[in-house]
Amino acid sequence: MRVVYNLEGLACASCAAKIEIAASKLENVDSAFVDFSTSRIFLDIHPADIHALKHALQETVATFEPDVIVTEQSTKLERPTLFTVQNSSFFLGMLSFIVALFVPGGPLKTALYIMSYVLAGYEVIYKALRNLRQGQIFDENFLMTIATLGALAIREFPEAASVMIFYRTGEFLQSLAVDRSRRSISSLIAIKPETAHRKVQDSIVDIPVEDVRVGDLLVVRPGERIPVDGEVVHGSSSLDTSALTGESLPQEVQEGEEVLSGCINLSGLLTIRSTKLARDSAVSRILHLVENATTNKAPTEDFITTFARYYTPVVVGIAASIAIIPPLFFGGVFNDWFYRSLVFLVASCPCALVVSIPLGFFGGIGLASKQGVLVKGSNYLQALHEADTIVFDKTGTLTSGHFSVQKVTSVDPFTQYDVLEMAAHAESASSHPIARSIIRAFDASIDEGSITCIEELSGFGVRASYQGSEILVGSKHLLERFGIEVTGNNDQSGVYVAKDGGYAGSISLMDEPKRGARRAVEVLQSMGTKVVMLTGDASRVSGQVAKELGIEDVRSELLPHQKVEELERIMGEKQVKGKVVFVGDGINDAPALARANVGIAMGALGSEAAIETADVVLMTDDPLGVVEAMDTARRTNRVVWQNISLAFAVKVVVLSLGALGMASLWEAVFADVGVTILAVLNSSRIIASKSQMEKRSV
């Protein structure tokens, strides 16, 4: 069982990591995960008293962050309050420092510096002492307190005060930058309506969306979001579906058509009949996927979390060695080497890594959702970045799945009409696109009374009893399975028909490639990605489609289980490290979606099977969504590694200079909070950036 709580006021990334570790040790808690990007904690628990659990969690959180409140309901992000007691004290400390700069040397100048230090840094010192009592030593508060008190001990009063002021300024700017990123991320997924207008006889009643029942009549005015999934019963309008599908062009809807929650009604007044509850509607499923995506950490995140846990104690040990060993064994001046150790301490905090990397991945997930791509976790975002082979299913993925009968052939004594009639009646109970196209081509009424039995043979076709005869309709493999020899035009692709054990004829169908399929293949290949197509169609037809799309590697005439075998063969053929992505329609291809390194379900917003099985869900039928997903994954990982490189490079330089006595506490503070601010701002670029597909289309 999983429960989720919000941590209001959480602003410390290292504290978030400590809360995560402590919460995982609570009674009845199997595991805990704190998502700093959204200020939430996820708890996997045994059946337990939820009220007692929340109380225990609040006590645990308070030991690290007394001002953080555990709440059950998600609250809207409020802008941070600037005029607080802490900020006022900090401002007075800064004012005292400025006055001290203009006071002549003497006791008054020293007193002003000390006053400045206390006013600006009392909160940092208090947190360090509180954490020390609880055995939590190695954090940024401890490092800053030790470093600045050390500066005071060697009578570096101006530097102690200025470093604390600079640190607090950096912390304040960092909190603003994190808040900006959180606000940007929240705006991407804040598409869930809060109220609905229920029609009761001749009146309209406003109710919470959660109170909408299946079958309710709801009024949606121009400019409002559709509250739940439903069917239009009156009116027509244009819908802005960009929040769900990433499609910028409005979608026209008429009476009888389905509409999804979260879409904006642009023009006409609509009356819809709800077909799903709010919790089951499209927008709720989207928000659930996006908000819970951060629980699946990327390997990079796991590495940095583990690294930070051991990194700071090691650095503190090195700093102590710098302060002690040279004066004791090599005749060094204690004050000089002690100061170097202080610089080393301040520069060591890994905040830039701990804060910016989760924000970067969550920003990528948020951007993908804005483009109509739902990524279930940052681990899949990183796997997409590493993918070098994309395997597409053909029907419904690269092609439209809207078949049309091109030609009917028959063998004596059957006519073309006989073949079409038998196929239409045998397929009459099927909703498969091929079956519907055959029924449309028959263009006559179906005599249901003449059909006594229909059996679907998965992956092959159907067997039916029609007018007392056994009819087989399906692939060539189906007829071979029953020992029926295909005569005449046996190289023709399509659907084969047999009656009472004898071959009757075949139906040739055409499935057109989707509009964006060729463009998607071209762009993926230009990105250095190998494209493979798997299909159950005959080799001649699949070869024609592949040629039109520019795909060279085609594997045809595959049954559903053979697609999985072929996918495993492709994964086994790889000589270099890389991931294999499978793209399918999300229902028939569920086994292959589950087997691939990353499974992408195409156009499967309404499919529960797709959402459960796939790692990435595209909310449109456009193959270009795969390109968007790949592009966003690469951009996200590029920014994440920029942050890692920046943080490590600056820290290595400043730590080295500090140990050599060539850096001051000012540079050390920049290596901590300054780099953190730069990394957070760099992460926010992911959210603000434009799609590469938009740029390519210009």
Lookup: tokens for 486 = 């295909």
C-alpha–C-alpha distance, residues 13 and 35, integer Å:
10
C-alpha–C-alpha distance, residues 366 and 635, integer Å:
13
Distance of alpha carbon 324 from the chain centroid:
48
DSSP for residue 292: T
Q: Please name which of 402, 412, 374 lies closest in space to residue 632, comparing C-alpha atoms.
A: 374
C-alpha–C-alpha distance, residues 536 and 664, integer Å:
69
Residue found under tokens 């005569």: 487
* Torsion 612-615-619-622 (CA) sign: negative
Q: Please name which of 558, 523, 508, 550 lies closest in space to residue 634, comparing C-alpha atoms.
A: 523
C-alpha–C-alpha distance, residues 567 and 534, integer Å:
9
Strands 553-555 and 530-534: parallel
Dihedral-angle region of residue 331 (phi above 0 means left; psi in -120 to 50 means alpha; beta otherwise): left
Q: Please name which of 43, 48, 47, 41 lies closest in space to residue 16, comparing C-alpha atoms.
A: 41
Task: Determine which one of 393, 511, 621, 622 is catalytic.
Answer: 393
Neighbours of 199 (CB within 10 A): 17
C-alpha dihedral (96, 97, 101, 104), degrees to nearest 10: 50
Helix (H) or strand (E) holding 632: helix 624-659
DSSP secondary structure letters along 371-386: TTEEES-HHHHHHHHH
Instruction: For residue 393, indicate whether it is catalytic.
Output: yes
- β-bridge mates for residue 204, sequence order: 199
Sheet hosting strand 461-466, strand order edge to edge: 399-410, 502-513, 495-499, 469-474, 461-466, 451-457
Secondary structure of residue 310 in the 3-state scheme: helix
C-alpha–C-alpha distance, residues 66 and 82, integer Å:
19
Residues involved in catalysis: 393
